[in-house]
């Protein structure tokens, strides 16, 4: 019976120490501000950055981080190949009312070709460029012809659901001129 009392007292003592440690971690070191930048301790020596300085020039504002919440993250999906079929009315797609425009593109990896449909909400965010001698000229969607070699860039904001119109940041079609 004495052994059970001693074990019980030791377990209570250990529980009190664990609770004290838990509460000290929760409430004593609480930051004054939620911003990650304000919570970081400055280093003693100058930090050498492994990322090229131009990276910050081009990506500034793409990712906003505050307490592990992503404000904007762009996912760019690039597809390139030759256009074998154009669907200007959306008749080829599974849901023609949602996809009013489509391109069937074949490449070395996929000689049969795949359909790339543009949703009705994203059609107004679509830009078409003609690339000739490394100069991009803005053209119309109707300038796309069968046999053109194109590069499609689908830029999606991953902070939003795919059903949200804010999800599509841009859809860029680059027609590569054969005279390059």
C-alpha–C-alpha distance, residues 82 and 177, integer Å:
12
Q: What's the structural domain count of the chain? A: 2
Strand-pair partners of 129? 138, 174
State residue 62's pLDDT score: 47
Q: Are residues 19 and 86 in the same domain?
A: no
The DSSP element (H or E) to which 69 belongs, if any, is strand 69-70
Q: Are residues 18 and 97 in the same domain?
A: no
Task: Tell me, rounded to whole angstroms, the distance of Cα 76 from its chain centroid.
Answer: 7
Domain assignment present for 138: yes
Give residue-wise pLDDT tens across range 126-139: 899 999 988 889 99
Domain assignment present for 160: yes
Q: Are residues 84 and 167 in the same domain?
A: yes
Q: Are residues 96 and 16 in the same domain?
A: no
Tokens describing residue 170: 């841009």
Query: Considering only CA atoms, which of 140, 151, 19 is closest in space to residue 80?
Result: 151
Low-confidence ranges of the chain (pLDDT < 50): 60-68
Domain with 99, as residue range(s), is 70-176
Name every residue whose Cβ is closer than 8 Å to that of residue 175 and which is 6 or more positions away in sequence. Answer: 128, 129, 130, 131, 139, 143, 144, 148, 149, 150
Q: Are residues 105 and 25 in the same domain?
A: no
Domain assignment present for 81: yes
Domain assignment present for 26: yes
The DSSP element (H or E) to which 2 belongs, if any, is helix 2-27
Q: Are residues 20 and 74 in the same domain?
A: no
State residue 150's pLDDT score: 92
Query: Considering only CA atoms, which of 118, 113, 112, 114 is closest in space to residue 96?
Result: 118
């Amino acid at each position: 019976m004495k052994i059970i009392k001693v074990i019980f007292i030791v377990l209570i003592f250990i529980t009190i120490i664990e609770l004290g440690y838990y509460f000290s971690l929760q409430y004593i070191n609480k930051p004054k501000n939620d911003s990650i930048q304000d919570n970081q301790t400055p280093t003693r020596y100058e930090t050498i950055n492994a990322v090229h300085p131009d990276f910050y020039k081009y990506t500034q504002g793409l990712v906003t981080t505050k307490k592990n919440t992503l404000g904007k993250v762009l996912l760019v999906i690039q597809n390139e190949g030759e256009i074998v079929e154009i669907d200007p009315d959306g008749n080829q797609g599974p849901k023609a009312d949602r996809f009013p425009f489509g391109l069937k593109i074949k490449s070395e990896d996929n000689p049969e070709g795949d359909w790339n449909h543009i949703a009705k909400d994203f059609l107004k965010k679509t830009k078409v460029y003609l690339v000739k001698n490394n100069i991009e000229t803005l053209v119309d969607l109707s300038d796309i012809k069968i046999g053109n070699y194109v590069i499609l860039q689908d830029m999606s904001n991953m902070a939003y659901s795919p059903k949200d119109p804010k999800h599509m940041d841009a859809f860029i079609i680059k027609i590569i001129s054969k005279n390059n």
